[in-house]
Amino acid sequence: MQSVVAPNSLSSENPVLRVENLRKHYGLVHAVKDISFHVCAGEIVGLLGVNGAGKTTTISMILGVLEPTAGSIHIGSVDLLRHRSRALSSTSFAAVYAALPGNLTVYENLRVFALLYGVRDFPARLQSVLDAFDLHKFRNTKCGILSSGEQTRVGLAKAMLNRPRVLLLDEPTASIDPASARDIRSTICSFAASTQTGVLWTSHNMFEVEEVCSRVLFLSHGEIILSGDPRTLPAQYGKSTLEELFISVAREPFDLGALQS
């Protein structure tokens, strides 16, 4: 399998996203339990876990739309909880559950979000993201009549408009055919490498994770229980593939010692 992870100079001393002791309780339900991790400039980190593990809760907190019960989130050196607006100007996201308004055209949506993110050179950025995601022919098409895959590409175009330092992608290729998904993965990797954007990527497609992520974090019941290189991690736990490891962790999340032996 050919990896499309872009070669770049990662440095743990240069994190663009720093999450420390992040916790979220909903009453008695502990959705996220004191997790800490970082994403470096140009690095693509996979956030893995079964449905309900706390991935989307974590992403929502990093996006500033869910207040943590405790902990801190820094985008670069900016404390998200104290300087929300400044931190979010360097952040962006795309998710299958957050399609752009279907009653606006691709151009109109991108224009509005360019203003919201304070994009200065909009004509050039528009051209660039339309090129990157092959959206020129849909420029004046309402998003609501695009296919789900095309809408995903528009969402990704929006996510890259502001050249974010931190890009959060929640299952970005979930509704895309394999050929388009490969192109999109390649575009995102190139973008991350060329702009030194740190990417936090959730996916249930382990092939995809191995292909794009230089590091993965396994989340289970709101805790990070495993982390490492997705290409070497399975062997460390006696598994031949990342998917096998994922299934083992999903079934027996608290028995990692046994897995390792």
Partner 1 sequence: MNLTRIAAIPLRQFFLYRGSAARVVPLFAWVTIDMVLWGFMTKFLGSLAHTSYRFVPALLGAVLFWDFMTRVMQGVTTAFFEDVWSRNFLNVFATPITMPEYIAGLLLSSFATSIVGLAVMIAVSTAAFGLNFAAYGAMLLPFILVLFLNGMALGVAAIAIVLRFGPAAEWFVWPIPALLAPFACVYYPLATLPAPMQWFARLLPPSYVFEGMRAVVSGHVFNGALLAAAFALAIAYIVLAYWIFARVFRHAIQTGLITRYSAETVS
- Cβ proximity to partner 1, 81 vs 256, nearer residue: 81
- Asked if residues 33 and 221 have their Cβ atoms less than 8 Å apart, the reply is yes
Q: 4 near 186, Cβ under 8 Å?
A: yes
Q: Is 124 in the site for partner 1 (CB under 8 A)?
A: no
Tell me if 70 contacts partner 1 by CB under 8 A: no
Q: Answer yes or no whether residue 117 interacts with partner 1 by CB under 8 A.
A: yes
Contact call for residue 30 and partner 1 (CB under 8 A): no
* Among 14, 20, 79, 112, interactor with partner 1 by CB under 8 A: 112
Which position among 95, 110, 193, 219 is part of the footprint of partner 1 (CB under 8 A)?
Answer: 95
The answer to whether 89 contacts partner 1 (rule: CB under 8 A) is yes
Can residue 52 be called a binding residue for partner 1 (CB under 8 A)? no
Q: How far is the CB of 244 from partner 1 (least distance, A)?
A: 32
Least CB distance to partner 1 at residue 3 (A): 30
d(C-alpha 21, C-alpha 91), whole Å = 20
Point out which span in 106-114, 174-182, 192-200, 232-240 binds partner 1 (CB under 8 A): 106-114
Among 58, 91, 196, 202, contact with partner 1 (rule: CB under 8 A) = 91
Between residues 85 and 190, which has the closer beta carbon with respect to partner 1? 85
Give the interface with partner 1 as residue ranges (CB under 8 A). Answer: 26, 56-57, 60, 63-67, 84-86, 88-89, 91-93, 95, 97-105, 108, 111-113, 115-118, 158
